[in-house]
Chain A
């Protein structure tokens, strides 16, 4: 299936798909993912900003971007985007009246996938479909029907109106794990967002799970990234290992394993002491001879010196005249 989803273990998932097989944009992946809901003392890991960044990048590459909104209104989706990007985004409004409660002719109804591309699209480059969000549809439509409809949308005859790729936002905390796994199997690529960054401005973590088109074992790659105020994305590559990491980060099957308990950002909390030795300290410790090993000069000195054994008996114990045990007459 030439489309995919991405899902973040901290509560937000979003996805992407490509019908042409070419990697689209940059893939931001990182280590230290949390596969459990965010702890109560951290905010949810939102993925909409990342979705906006990818939409913005597509616009800047002169591609046509069609944004289908169910979760949020247009004003909220394009918040923070530059005016030039806002002008060039195309929209289908599934937010205002998806169920037909407000009037007979809503712009887009839930499940009306034919209306996604209806109304004509301006000519231009490849068409990217951005869906915010897939969770909204999954809660209201049977998943098989939804998957078939989206597959038909993407698998039609090549034309200027057929999307070449699909990006969908999926909230992982709203769906059962089985459904998430099934959707992941349909995706060509999944982007799994890690928890919120440990501090404002710190890089965020994400993991990219790629499935080759010809089948086979998928690959996982972790990256860190930051979102810039102008809406663009900057990849920071593979994140450095956690300080003091050693045996506990040994990989199993090529995947990083989380050993010690981590905070929501996937990093160990800062400590005021250090549990491990640095390389210099380890070398210094190795250089110290153990006490049971005698150096040759010391050994020869001991052997040459005539040894004597002196027995010094211990002084008699002080007798306590008031010892109550003396009263015992056993």
Chain B
């Protein structure tokens, strides 16, 4: 299994989360989505709008997404479909396990106390003195452990985003412990993939967040670093993405490979192009 880190600086990298969510659902993987930032309906609406690539743009964009595909051991992309993905349907057929963090936090803090047959809330660290995220890890492990009648292709854990856990009061080490155990369970034992989004800022004084980000960078097999342009806002180029493939973790005497592209987010798709070659320039 591979650990993919989505990192954004001076911009919003959540479009990558939507991409990977649709990507893995279309591939037939079992997905556990820990959504701490937005509601279920938000992700559902975006997933239904996202379409697959058409034939004309397939060859160029496939090359750009090749690193993404290589990081997924169980990919089975169907490029013929032009429809979006319904998260509601995926949830009903058991392919998607969705933890809506916004709702869970409210229920935990302001909801009535209910006994849930010995199943604590995954976010119980908010209300309890214990600062570890073991309950959240237990939720992830239970969700992705394959059942006897499961026919899904492989487990995937998606987290949006990890920095919210720090804001909710978890310590950086608790967050790192959670990710550590997820790597053990999902990547090592279940041979699945993990995709995690974190925010970072080079000039940030948030040492806890930078500690989490730097630590995750050391353990990532693939880093997708989305950055806003240093020159500011541009109508035709919304930012640049740096794809860092950590070959040094896999092979001796190999250096990490870095590719940089720029991108533009459209209504139903994202277009990538080489730096300086946006459609507005050509």
Give A residues with C-beta under 8 Å from B.
Answer: 11-12, 37, 40-44, 46, 48-49, 52-53, 71-73, 75-76, 79-81, 95-99, 101-102, 135, 139-140, 171, 173-174, 196-197, 200-201, 226-231
Which residue of A44, A75, A96, A227 is within 8 Å of B253 (Cβ)? A227
B160 contacts partner chain A, Cβ-Cβ < 8 Å? no
Contact check, B134 vs A49: say whether CB atoms are below 8 A apart: no
Which residue of B176, B184, B242, B252 is within 8 Å of A49 (Cβ)? B252
Contact check, A174 vs B211: say whether CB atoms are below 8 A apart: yes
The smallest beta-carbon distance between A264 and chain B, in angstroms, is 11
Cβ contacts under 8 Å, A230 to chain B = 252
Contact check, A231 vs B252: say whether CB atoms are below 8 A apart: yes
**A49→B255 CA distance, assembly (Å):** 10
The smallest beta-carbon distance between B139 and chain A, in angstroms, is 13
B251 contacts partner chain A, Cβ-Cβ < 8 Å? yes
Residues of A contacting B: mostly: loop
Contact check, B252 vs A40: say whether CB atoms are below 8 A apart: no
Which residue of A46, A52, A98, A173 is within 8 Å of B214 (Cβ)? A173
Cβ contacts under 8 Å, A99 to chain B = 132, 177, 181
Contact check, A49 vs B253: say whether CB atoms are below 8 A apart: yes
With CB as the reference atom, state the residue of chain A lying closest to B258: A43
Q: How many residues of B contact A (CB 8 A)?
A: 35
Contact check, A80 vs B184: say whether CB atoms are below 8 A apart: no
Contact check, A43 vs B256: say whether CB atoms are below 8 A apart: yes
Q: Could you mark each residue 182-198 of chain B with 1 if its beta carbon is under 8 Å from any beta carbon of chain A, else 0?
A: 00110010000000000
**A79→B253 CA distance, assembly (Å):** 11
With CB as the reference atom, state the residue of chain B lying closest to A12: B218
**A101→B177 CA distance, assembly (Å):** 10
Contact check, B184 vs A97: say whether CB atoms are below 8 A apart: yes
Contact check, A171 vs B215: say whether CB atoms are below 8 A apart: yes
Contact check, B253 vs A174: say whether CB atoms are below 8 A apart: no
Contact check, A197 vs B242: say whether CB atoms are below 8 A apart: no
Q: 8 tightest A-B contacts by CB?
A: A80-B252, A43-B256, A227-B253, A173-B214, A46-B248, A200-B255, A229-B253, A73-B188
B137 contacts partner chain A, Cβ-Cβ < 8 Å? yes
The smallest beta-carbon distance between A53 and chain B, in angstroms, is 8
Contact check, B137 vs A101: say whether CB atoms are below 8 A apart: yes
Contact check, B255 vs A43: say whether CB atoms are below 8 A apart: yes
**A231→B76 CA distance, assembly (Å):** 34
B244 contacts partner chain A, Cβ-Cβ < 8 Å? yes
Contact check, A139 vs B173: say whether CB atoms are below 8 A apart: yes
Contact check, A44 vs B217: say whether CB atoms are below 8 A apart: yes
Q: A46-B249, A197-B255 are in contact. List 14 more A-B contacts (CB 8 A).
A: A40-B202, A42-B258, A43-B256, A43-B258, A44-B218, A80-B251, A96-B184, A97-B184, A139-B172, A139-B176, A201-B255, A226-B253, A228-B253, A231-B252
